[in-house]
Amino acid sequence: MKAKPLKKLIYHIFVGGFAVLLLYPVVWLIVSSFKQSEKIFLTAESLIPKPFTIANYGQGWEGFGDYGFDTYITNTTIYVVLVLIGHLISCSLIAFGFARLKFAGRNFWFAIMIMTLMLPYEVVMIPQYIIFSQLDWLNSYKPLVVPAYFGHPFFIFLLVQFIRTIPRELDEAATIDGSSVFGIYYRIILPLIVPALATTAIFTFYWTWDNLLGPVLYLNSPGKYTVSMALRMFLSNETVSNWGAMFAMSVVSLIPVFVIFFIFQRYVVEGISTSGLKG
């Protein structure tokens, strides 16, 4: 019994120390955002900004041309939330269909879905672009958001794998109790895959937040740009890049992702306890 606090201390030293090691680059990023832009590279090894300045934040927040950085954050937030809703609804429905229902052609469609994961986006990009241009969807968020309502193979597959770990007896019991197929999805499965849904939410949030290729292709008006596009505009291939502002706004754009993660990670781990279901 005496050994317990010591064991705990060792755990914290190890886990905490390891975290510091992994986080060094992140700390470097944050510290650099408080350095003067032209000093960032001269004092790259130092983790103390000297002199300390918040000018980068002011400069970055001003944005480009007519639009401040707040515009990009608002745009990105709306975009991300719409995609998030789409993924949660569509992927859970589709995954339930694949994992629990027996129907003709199931394996075929599952194989098709896995295949769509393997084709690099670069080559379907052009034909897809032409389809969206025929629909007159260019320079809008439609090509980025609408497909989310038809499922995303990664998350469908993820949810399928989780549903498969849930004992079938639960469904059978519910069927005997008179539950419909949809009832099983809604009452039995959905609550049990909360961790996987939270995972879907987290991944969707930050992948969409970070997504660059889609917005670059489909958004033309700077007033519609996302954060990831805006960050790249601080850099220049011809003259001097504004590193300070880029780092500062990178830090700012990390905050929402960080907060979302902190909120949702709890559900990943605490949302479910299947213990006692069996045994």
Partner 1 sequence: MKKFLLVLLTMMTVLFLAACGGDDNSSSDGDANTDETSSNNEGTGEEASGEDVTIRVAWWGNQPRHDYTMEVIKMYEEQNPHVNIEAEYASWDDYWQKLAPQAAANELPDIIQMDLSYLAQYANNGQLADLSQFFDSAIDVSNITEDIIDGGRIDDGVYGFNAGVNAVGFQYNPALAEEHGIEIPEDEWTWDDYKEISEKAVDAGIFFDTGMQPDVFFNYYLRQHGDRLYAEDGSGLGYDDDQLFVDFFSMLQEQVEKEATPTPDYLAQLAGPEDDPVVKGEGIGIFQWSNQFVGLEETSGLEFKMVPMPGPNVADGLFLKPSMFWSVSENSAAKEEAAKFIDFFTNDIEANKLILGERGVPVSSVVKDALMEEVSESQAKVFEYIAWVEENSTSMGAPDPAQAGEIIDLLTNLSEQVSYGQTTPEDASTHFRQQAESILGN
Partner 2 sequence: MQSSMKQNLWGYLFIGPFIIGFLAFTVIPIFASLYFSFTSYNLFTAPEWIGFDNFTKMFTDDARYLHSLKITFIYVFAGVPLRLAFALFVAMLLNTASRAVGFYRTLYYLPSLIGGSVAVAIMWRNIFGDEGIVNLALSTLGLDPIRWFGDPTAALWMLIFLSVWQFGSSMLIFLAGLKSIPQSYYEAASVDGANFLQKFVKITIPMLSPVILFNAVMQTISAFMTFVPAFIISKGTGGPLDGTLLYSLYLFMQGFEFFHMGYASAMAWVMLIIIGILTSIIFASSRFWVHYESEGGR
Residues from 28 through 47 that contact partner 1 (CB under 8 A)? 38, 40-42, 44
CB of 108 to partner 1, least distance (A): 22
Q: Considering beta carbons, is residue 26 or 111 the nearer one to partner 1?
A: 26
SS3 221: coil
The item of partner 1, partner 2, none sharing an interface with residue 79, based on CB under 5 to 8 Å by kind, is none
Query: Mask 183-222, x = binds partner 1 (CB under 8 A)?
Result: x--x-------------------------xx--xx--xxx
Given 10, 115, 183, 223, the residue binding partner 2 (CB under 8 A): 115
Across 45-62, b (16+ Cβ under 10 Å) vs e yields eeeebeeebeebbebbee
Q: Read off the tokens for 249.
A: 């706004």
Q: With CB under 8 A as the contact rule, which of the stretches 47-55, 166-174, 237-245, 247-255 interacts with partner 1?
A: 237-245
Q: Which of residues 122-151 bind partner 1 (CB under 8 A)?
A: 125-126, 129-130, 133, 135-142, 146, 149
Q: Give the C-alpha separation, 93 to 96, whole Å.
A: 5
Cβ-contact 147, 87 below 8 angstroms:
no
The item of partner 2, partner 1, none sharing an interface with residue 74, based on CB under 5 to 8 Å by kind, is none
SS3 64: strand
Given 225, 231, 244, 245, the residue binding partner 2 (CB under 8 A): 231
How far from 240 is each of 32, 222, 244, 256, CA to CA, in Å?
A: 17, 21, 11, 29
The item of partner 2, partner 1, none sharing an interface with residue 72, based on CB under 5 to 8 Å by kind, is none
Q: With CB under 8 A as the contact rule, which of the stretches 57-65, 66-74, 190-198, 215-223 interacts with partner 2?
A: 190-198
CB of 28 to partner 2, least distance (A): 6
Q: Give the C-alpha separation, 193 to 166, whole Å.
A: 9
Using alpha carbons only, what angle is made at residue 94 by residues 91 and 100, rounded to the nearest 5 degrees?
Answer: 125
Q: Give the C-alpha separation, 36 to 57, whole Å.
A: 11
Across 184-196, b (16+ Cβ under 10 Å) vs e yields bbeebbeebbebb
Q: Where on the chain is the footprint of partner 1 (CB under 8 A)?
A: 38, 40-42, 44, 64-66, 89-90, 93, 125-126, 129-130, 133, 135-142, 146, 149, 179-180, 182-183, 186, 212-213, 216-217, 220-222, 224, 229, 232-243, 245
